[in-house]
Amino acid sequence: MIQINEEDYNTIIKHAKDGLPNEACGLLGGIVVDGVTYVKKVYCLTNIDASREHFSMDPKEQFAAIKDIRSNKLQLIGNFHSHPETPARPSEEDKRLAYDSKLLYGIVSLMNEEAPVLKVFHINEAKEVSVEEVMIIS
């Protein structure tokens, strides 16, 4: 299970919408306690590809985010990106690029911009996808 507070959830959704018409992306810092992953900090990064169909995170921003995660005694728990026109599920490219099976992969679908959908996945070494339960805490 993944727990995220409402403010961080809203930050992700806003970043995804602000990125339109392109994909938006970012990193997630947090902790894992007794099998529950807690999102503690959201890092909204620049998609340097400026593409509707794929993303590449700005390396300088990635480095700064990782440095901040470590300085706050958190761990990199995952990343997220948006799908402006497709469902919240990993594409074949998303699966191919999933480099660490310990990380979470969040996807925001903006097919209906007024009703965005955030789903979080694990992608194992065999590129098999499992959906994680997400609990938004007010």
Q: Of 3, 16, 7, which Cα lies nearest the Cα of 108?
A: 16
pLDDT of residue 97: 92
The model's pTM is 0.94
**What's the angle, vertex CA 50, arms to CA 131 and CA 86, rounded to 5?**
35
60-106 pLDDT, tens digit each: 999 999 999 999 999 999 999 999 999 999 999 999 999 999 999 99
* Domains detected in the chain: 2-137 (3.40.140.10)
